[in-house]
């Protein structure tokens, strides 16, 4: 049987996963803090440029730039894909050969 990974070690393993790891990618939808900040800067820049256009100064402003795509926008599409089905913690532990002691097993 594989080594045991207690829950108090498994939770930080997921929550504080280092960037560029598969766990981090899944929990942060592939985006780092830097990615989010850059997306915000792009949106702000687009709005500032738009405010200098004729479209922005009409009685009814038109062609206001849309924010760029962010993670979560296509989450429904990803869930539809059959090759990207998330696995449970139990499935992961079984594949990795890890026994997780949840502490809720009955003792006879």
| Predicted confidence (pLDDT) per residue in 48-82, tens digit | 999 999 988 888 888 888 888 877 655 545 455 55
pTM of this prediction? Answer: 0.49
Phi, psi of 80 (to 5 degrees): -70, -25
Q: Would you kindly state where each structural domain of the chain is located, as residue ranges? A: 1-30+88-108
pLDDT for position 49: 92
* pLDDT beyond 80 at 106: no
- Give Cβ neighbours of residue 36 (< 8 Å, ≥ 6 apart): 70
Torsion 28-31-35-40 (CA) sign: negative
- Model pLDDT for residues 13-56, shown as the tens digit of each residue: 788 888 778 888 777 777 777 888 898 999 999 999 999 999 88
- Residue 84 vs residue 17, higher pLDDT: 17
């Amino acid at each position: 049987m594989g080594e045991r990974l207690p829950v108090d070690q498994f939770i930080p393993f997921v929550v504080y996963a280092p960037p560029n790891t598969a766990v981090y990618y899944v929990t942060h939808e592939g985006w780092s803090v830097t990615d989010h900040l850059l997306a915000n800067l792009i949106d702000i820049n687009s709005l500032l440029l738009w405010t200098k256009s004729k479209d922005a100064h009409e009685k009814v402003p038109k062609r206001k730039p849309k924010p760029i795509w962010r993670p979560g926008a296509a989450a429904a599409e990803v869930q539809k894909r059959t090759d990207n089905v998330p696995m449970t913690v139990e499935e992961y532990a079984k594949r990795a050969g890890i026994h997780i002691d949840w502490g809720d097993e009955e003792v006879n």
